Amino acid sequence: MANLKIGDSAPEFCLNDAAGKKVRLSDFKGRKLLVYFYPKADTPGCTTQACSVRDASAELAKAGIAAVGISPDAPNALVHFAGKYQLGFPLLSDPDHTVAEAYGAWGEKTLYGRKSMGVIRSAFLVDERGRIVDAWYKVKPEDTVPNALAAAKTL
């Protein structure tokens, strides 16, 4: 799928969290939501990104923003990752990368000259009506939260 743009409807999702509970985009209707995609739990960049969301939880809440992280990891890997870093927000399992594809966060990547298909680290701020406020593809882990907070101020 093509990249999402400001004003697009955020693709609906229904994914299992670390505990096996179904989480849907529609569960967050009436609230802003930071949706971010990361390649693999407990790797350096993904840990930086997740911990920055955790550390900014009060600031995000003050701005009315909830957060979910989505990766192709199995729920048991998410349980370990969330527990190890006491993340405190839902991590969702997208093993067949259907949701990542719908958001344009799945594609060809190059690492050390080798091409492969995988999650393209991306983040999206979704408004209370389910519309994309802003989208960041190939986002740096440490930029996820500042980008979302800055975009929320434009509403």
Tokens 């967050």 belong to 28
3-state helix, strand, coil in the chain (%, to 5): 30, 30, 35
Query: Closest Cα to residue 101, out of 41, 5, 11?
Result: 11
Three-class SS state of 31: coil
Rg (CA), the chain: 14
Residue 14 among the catalytic residues: no
Q: Of the residues 33, 46, 78, 119, which is catalytic?
A: 46
Q: What is residue 38's DSSP assignment?
A: -
Active site residues: 46
